[in-house]
Amino acid sequence: MSKYGFVKPGMGAHEIVKKVRDSREVFFASTAMRDAGQSDYKNRLRIHDLLTLAPLYNEMGLFSAECHGGARWHVGIMNRKENPFEEVRLLRKAMPNILLQTLVRETSLWGYRPYPPNVVKYAVSYVDIDVWRCFSFLNDIRNMEPVAEVVINKGKLFEPTISFTDADWTTDQYYLGVIDEIVALCGGISDIILCIKDMAGVGTTKRIGTLIDKIKQRYPDLIIEYHRHMTDGLALPAYLSAAKAGAKIFDVEEDSLVRFYGEPPMLAVEAYFEEAGIHVHLNREAAEDAVLKVREWIGNYEWAESPFKGFDHTVTYHRMPGGAFPSSFEQASKGDFLELMPAILKVMSLYNRIIHYFDVTPGSQITWVTCSGIVNKYAKEQGNIGVKHLIGLLNKFIIEQDQNFESMDKEEQEELLKIFRNAPDDFRNLILGQYGQLPNGWPAGWVYESTFGDAWPEKIKTRNDLSPVDLLKEDSLKRLRSNLEEAIGRNATDEEFVLYLMHPKDAVEYIEWHEKYGEAALVLPTSIWREGLKKPGDKVEFDFWGKPYCIELASIGAEHDGVVQVVLLVNNKTKVYAVQTPHAKKEDKRMAKGANDIPSPVNGTVWRIGNPKRGTLQVGDIVYKGEEMANVEAMKMENVIAAPFAGQIREICVKLNELVQEGQLLFVIDKKVGSTEQGILPADS
Amino acid sequence: MKKEIHKVLIANRGVPAVRIMHTCRDRKIATTAVYSTPDRLAHHVYMADSAVHIGDAPPAKSYLNMERIIEAAHASKSDAIHPGWGFLSENPQFAQAVIDEGFIWVGPPPEVIKVLGDKIQAKKIAQSASVPIIPGISPVKDAKDIKEWMEKNAITFPIIIKAAAGGGGKGMVRVDSKRELVNAFNQAQSEALKSFGDTRVMVEKYIEHGRHIEVQIVADVYGNVIHLFERECTLQRRHQKIIEEAPSPSLRDDLRREICFAAVRLMREVKYVSAGTVEFIFDAPNKKFYFLEVNTRLQVEHGITELITGLDIVGMMLDIAMGKELHVKQSDIRPNRWALEVRLNAENPKNFSPSFGKITRLLVPQGPGVRIASGVYEGADIPPYYDSLIMLLITAGVDRDDAIRVMDRALGRNLRVEGVKTLAPLLLAIIRHPAFIAGEFSTYFIETHMDELIAAFRYNYSEDEVLKIANYVAEISALGPQKWM
């Protein structure tokens, strides 16, 4: 261990916490490998580049590297095509001395909906992570229990996290109550680190100092980590204030990675703290090298930066979290409503007074979809005047009338009673308690009426105060796994199954992508990954599994019938790839997937449908188990397609003499189990 | 009666055509290739000194088209025709037509082909040569005949239905229960018609866990009949051999002598001429062998016999056809090597589904102890109309372990075929299987161990993985950054 190392993987939670507590220094946790990408680069930073920081981190004396979780997991399999399990393996190898940290959303883990406890526990048990930062967008501590149980049992460090915002209802008393619940859940404070997650970056110098001071008064030995985004432009003074009040760990990223919505710059924070007499445990030389290292590749990500740049102090009103900034603006830009963003942010700042929760995943998505939906609806129906009118109405109701519904005119009431009518399902589930209890009580009755219309009294009866941990029925892991295996047509690994549990559709697509393109996402440099080779003679060189490789472009042909011929030299050997463009005519071969689908066992010709005894089969015909349904000939060998069970033909998917592929769908048959059908089936002898 | 051969037309394609041309080159005999439309650029066409187009893709229009082949022989001024294996090699009408047209037929006389080609007659000859035969019935008209015969002779399942005119696994269906009988009978008949133009089928008791052993015979026109020892061809899939070796690991020397002399006896009885093979099924637990059939042609696996004896069987066939006396006596044949052959078929190794298309990359194994007979080249197309065999890999060593070791190297380290799937992963898994290494296997081996064998496939070759990466580079280079980028 280098002289800066003080905690490392393999240490128990108690030992780690004690080392931090016993030190007179403060510590940095780097969020460069997780949140820097999420908050300023739409999660596009690739492990290929982030890995270059790992050897430096190994010597830097960081408390931990948050390299996992949040939206990085999902965007990894969906877009970057990086497997979070593989990332952990690569990072462990490159920085064995560093605690690896994840960010999980209590019952939603790395996904967006609450999973039942058995799914949560299963997934957590397969992930090799040392520090588990776990937050709830409702501060509903009950929801953390399944994660806490597995993490603590594995001897890993559990880092319960309170979501922080600055509102009239988020008093010291409120937060202390939440922390009391956490302490009860974790059986004390000796084996945990408490994180305050200021994901929008709204904690003022004074506010954050007071809060930490109050917490330290109640729990003097509790280690506090302060996680803060820079959106309001006031992160550094807030950090200093937190440090003075007794926070021990601060989240930072390389100064050269910093843009506007992520965590503060590490070198600057270190210098600022040192000047104030607070000593930071940091190998500054390694940190400076890391800052330089980032400059080598960050230029490849300009395309990924938020279309909206610059600090935004109005975040203190609308509270959009750092991680949602670039993606929301990207969506607005793609949806062609970028000009509505000021109005949407304004509506968000009013909306969060009607329904109280914390704007962090999945809450921030609910806020975003609900508010952008309302504004878009007004804009579409009534144009700019409509949007203005909407803001006026909400202003009057919330600010002027202090949400006194009865004080509004009849017409205004009616309008309010329709405002949430098109709200997304997640919003409906939220106010019905499907995610857990709201931190400051349920919204007023008119919100339910506005959302559900006349059915609202019945709906409100279904609302409950239980946690999803108690509410959700266990999923059958066996059934889910067989769904996955059916989708990918082979046995799944445990890791693939965990990916599937989080994001079923994207996981299947990722697995299929990986089978086709292998390790392209890990091996290729970012410029090639994004743009490919541009002109003949351009090449990319890399080492792979201990041997050198080179891919050189020889030529790219013109598009013809939706196909472009690309000639590559792979280690000097010519290889031609026929690349289908979006104009390519899709040859839509249906493959057999389900239990009722009868596949062709071989590539060949369907030269007979039916059998000699019975003649040709038709849709609706009953077949008995083992009866020949068709015959496929390949290289002069005949292959009998026998019915796997007794049933009725629902569909015949091929024509006579059609050339079929192995696995191509030939028939769909419905299983017959009733006794009536069995009467007419020849008995199996 | 000696005749010189100056130019041979090879009425075949792929591996056999190329193999025969190699010996012709050695002997400075010119060659003519014939080809169907899709084979215009095939390997054998370029190996030959001249080539003649004989028709369209379906075998009946080309490689089974006797008239066109004989026309081609005239046109190319060939004076002999070698049929290779498969196609017309065991067709007595063709042999007769070749002779009638004044060409030398490199093979046994038509009447011998005819008599031995009929499994029913062949069994009678075996009986009269005191060679043991398996209980059976022939001919059979329908499934009812089979049921009656089984009842009368107390025969139990499994049984096997075979095309009377057949060979090469086509028209052969194993039946395990009464329920399958009708379907199986129909299938055998239908395949028999398709492959041999003859619906007659016969039925035999299926010898469970039998081993397939065959004896290579060479005979000249002067009545000299010698054997070149046996080959073990037990490893089969759907009655098609996949791995062969010589000598057989399942025979002791006394049985070896017995089986070889039985074969010579039978071939003498039928006045055989040229190269041919007598096949036996060997009931290993009971140390009994039964006559199966005679293949009246050069066999795919003749190469392993050549490697252990040092002889060139194709060359001997040419000499015999020219009326020369055998240049070796039985006592001269002293095998001193162990040889192993695998058939590299263009098939999916998991389910044997044929894989046709272009061979985009072909690296052929080299190094000590390896002999390759390839029917293809890099860039060649494998058309869907013919046999899936693309290459024979043969290795030799001082003993069986040595031959297996060399094969492991050839299959596992040197061979590379891109563009089509091949059986290579399966073949490698088989030769690494402990039961194979111990020499303990039956004709069921592959079916029984399929899951285990598939589990042993190695997938992560860096060459394959890099091609996937290159595929990504090709796509992104052609299409530019993707939507989410």
Which ipTM value was assigned to this complex? 0.85
The distance from CA A269 to its chain's CA centroid, rounded to whole angstroms, is 29
User: Which chain B residues in 374-413 lie under 8 Å from chain A, judged by CB atoms?
Assistant: 384, 386-388
Residue A611 DSSP one-character state: B
DSSP string, A55-68: HHHHHHT-SEEEEE
Q: Does B186 touch chain A (CB under 8 A)?
A: yes
Q: Where are the beta strands (DSSP E) in B14-168?
A: 30-36, 50-55, 80-82, 104-105, 136-140, 159-163
Q: Please tell me the number of Cα atoms within 13 Å of A630 on its side-chain side.
A: 27
Mean pLDDT across the stretch A316-333?
Answer: 89
Give the pLDDT confidence of B304-321 residue by residue, as tens digits.
999 999 999 999 999 999
User: Which of the residues B297, B337, B343, B409 is marked catalytic?
Assistant: B297
Interface of B with A in 50-69 (CB under 8 A): none
Tell whether B475 is within 8 A of chain A (Cβ). Answer: yes
- Which range, of A52-56, B164-168, B324-328, averages the lowest pLDDT? B164-168
Q: What percent of chain B has pLDDT over 90?
A: 73
pLDDT higher at B287 or A103: A103
Q: Do B484 and A601 make contact, defined as CB atoms within 8 angstroms?
A: no
Contact B474 A519 (CB under 8 A): no
Q: State how far residue A652 is from chain B, nearest Cα, in angstroms.
A: 21
- Helix/strand/coil percentages in chain A, nearest 5: 45, 20, 35
What digits encode the pLDDT tens for the residues A165-178? 999 999 999 999 99
* Interface contact A532-B473, CB threshold 8 A: yes
Place of tokens 């006194």: A404
A666 in helix, strand or coil?
Answer: strand
Instruction: Indicate the average pLDDT of chain B.
Output: 93
Query: For residue A226, which phi and psi values (nearest 5 degrees)?
Result: -110, 120
Residue A622 has pLDDT above 80, yes or no: yes
Rounded CA gap, A656 and A668, in Å?
A: 16
Distance of CA B454 to the CA centre of its chain: 24
A to B CB pairs, distance under 8 Å: 149
pLDDT in tens, A445-489: 999 999 999 999 999 999 988 999 998 999 999 999 999 999 998
Kindly state whether B152 is in contact with chain A, defined as any CB-CB distance less than 8 angstroms.
Answer: no
Tell me: pLDDT of A678 over 60: no
Contacts of A566 in chain B (CB under 8 A): 474-475, 477-478
pLDDT, chain A, mean: 92
Q: What is the pLDDT of residue A411?
A: 95
Whether B455 has its CB under 8 Å from any CB of chain A: the answer is: no
Nearest-Cα distance to chain B for A636, in Å, is: 7
Rounded-to-integer distance, Cα A414 and Cα B345, Å: 76
What is the tens place of the pLDDT at every residue in A325-354? 888 888 898 888 999 999 999 999 999 999
CA–CA distance from A195 to each of A175, A192, A241 (Å)?
Answer: 12, 10, 16
Window 277-306 of B: residues touching A by CB (8 A cutoff) are: none
Phi first, then psi: what are they for A227, rounded to 5°? -105, 120
pLDDT higher than threshold 90 for residue B165: no
Distance CA B349, CA B354 (A): 9
Is B473 close to A575, i.e. CB distance below 8 A? no
Contact A524 B480 (CB under 8 A): no
CB contact under 8 A, B476 and A530: yes
Task: Please give the share of chain A, as a percent, with pLDDT higher than 70.
Answer: 97
Residue B219 Rama label (left phi>0; alpha psi -120 to 50; beta)? beta
Q: Is residue A43's pLDDT more than 90?
A: yes
What is the structure's pLDDT at A209? 97
Using a pLDDT cut of 90, give the percent of chain A over it.
79
Contacts of B479 in chain A (CB under 8 A): 532, 564, 579, 581-582
Q: Confirm whether B68 is a catalytic residue.
A: no
Has residue A1 got a pLDDT over 50? Answer: no
Indicate the pLDDT class of residue A685, thresholds 50, 70 and 90.
Answer: very low
Whether B238 and chain A come into contact, CB under 8 Å, resolves to yes
Say what the pLDDT of residue A635 is: 67
B399-403: long-range contacts (C-beta < 8 A, 24 or more apart)?
B399/B338, B400/B245, B400/B249, B400/B338, B400/B340, B400/B439, B401/B437, B402/B338, B402/B369, B403/B245, B403/B337, B403/B338, B403/B339, B403/B340, B403/B369
Nearest beta carbon to residue B468 from set A517, A534, A685: A517
| Residues of chain A contacting residue B483, judged by C-beta atoms under 8 Å apart | none
Tokens 């510590």 identify what position?
A27
Q: Of A556, A440, A370, give the one whose Cα is nearest residue A140.
A: A440
